[in-house]
Structure 1
Amino acid sequence: MLEASFLNLSDRRPAEGAVSVWPAWEVRDGAGATTWFGVRLEFGDGARVDAHAVLAKGCVSIEDVRAEPALSLDDLAALADWIEDPLFDACGIGVAPEGVEAEGGEADGDDPRPGWPRGAEGRWLVAQKYREAQEQGVDPVLAVMRATGYGRRKSLRLIGEARDAGFLTRRRARR
């Protein structure tokens, strides 16, 4: 039986815990899909955290968290650091696109964002991913997000830069 009143994630090391992530269920609609994942963080002393994560429109959010022993608010904030990489791997977010090697990450894998070419090459690749998604009838912004590993704002900025460079047509006629 555990004697601690709180889990104290900030006092634990990554080697002490094991994170597992599995797809729980998926709901499809005309615009795409929403997928739920089960997440478990277990420690050798019997402490554990169970959570449900949701992937919708390229964003991951945590819906439900249960822990034994209980989590403090500080532990709840630290939980993201423990589960982020395995959860993003299971969701397919932050995976390096084909033919592009990750750069600038630390050797121990602390930076899950893939390397994305800068300058004209990067803008051209963004335009390619955008057009491919349009042809396939899927959300082009989400396709760019998946390819680059960046969030919505950064991906929209990259798409805007590709438009400014002439790789994509303007969205609206200027008056």
Structure 2
Amino acid sequence: MPLLPPWFHVRLTFGDGAVVDARAVVSEGRITIGDLSAGPPAPPDGHTAPADFAGPARHRARPSWPRGREGRRLVAEAYRAAQSEGRDPVLAVMRETGRSRRRSLRLVAAARDAGLLPPRHNRH
């Protein structure tokens, strides 16, 4: 049975109190990391860290978007700018607002209803 190289415990401690622990082995001139874990920075003023520090986020961050007339005006501007540059206007609204395609289409429809964009189809 071959002799396994020894594992080493490595700890990196940062100025804010955050730590990274790793188990590593050096074999044939290469470093291999076995386990890796990280801890939160130390809380300020000696308070305890919140329990949900590592909990999954419930909402994705997206830019705040004004409601009402101002929001419809900004949607119309983004839509027309993308259209004039030959880009996908709905995708431009999605990027600008941080909303899904369905929600962006609703915002575009609201801008059309407000008269800020021309009708989608010319009806005779």
Alignment partner of 2:87 out of 114, 130, 138? 138
Identity in percent = 55
Deviations 1:40-69 (A, max 9, x none): xx9418xxxxxxxxxxxxxxxxxxxxxxxx
> Which residue number corresponds to residue 161 of structure 1?
110
Larger relative contact order, structure 1 or 2 (CA cutoff 8 Å, min sep 6):
1
Output the CA distance in 2 between the equivalents of 1:157 and 1:117: 15
Q: Is 2:59 the partner of 1:120?
A: no
Larger Rg computed on CA atoms: 2
8 Å CA contact retained: 1:16, 1:43 = no
TM-score (norm 1): 0.38
Deviations 1:135-168 (A, max 9, x none): 1100000000000000000000000000000000
Secondary structure of the structure 2 residue equivalent to 1:171: coil
> Which residue number corresponds to residue 103 of structure 1?
none
- Please identify runs of 4+ aligned residues in structure 1 that moved more than 2 A: none
Unpaired stretches in structure 2, ≥5 consecutive residues? 1-17, 21-34, 39-55
Please show how residues 25-64 of structure 1 align to structure 2 within 5 Å: 43-44=36-37
Paired residue type of 1:165: A
Output the CA distance in 1 between the equivalents of 2:60 and 2:19: 21
Output the CA distance in 2 between the equivalents of 1:125 and 1:116: 9
Output the CA distance in 2 between the equivalents of 1:111 and 1:127: 24
Paired residue type of 1:161: A
TM-score (norm 2): 0.53
16 and 167 in structure 1: CA distance in 2 versus 1, 3 angstrom threshold? farther
8 Å CA contact retained: 1:145, 1:152 = yes
Please show how residues 146-157 of structure 1 align to structure 2 within 5 Å: 146-157=95-106
> Which residue number corresponds to residue 65 of structure 1?
none
Deviations 1:60-103 (A, max 9, x none): xxxxxxxxxxxxxxxxxxxxx47x9xxxxxxxxxxxxxxxxxxx
Output the CA distance in 1 between the equivalents of 2:90 and 2:19: 38
Two-structure CA RMSD over aligned residues (Å)? 2.9
Output the CA distance in 2 between the equivalents of 1:115 and 1:121: 12
Unpaired stretches in structure 1, ≥5 consecutive residues? 1-14, 18-41, 46-80, 85-109
Q: How many residues align?
A: 76
Paired residue type of 1:113: R
Secondary structure of the structure 2 residue equivalent to 1:132: helix
Paired residue type of 1:156: L
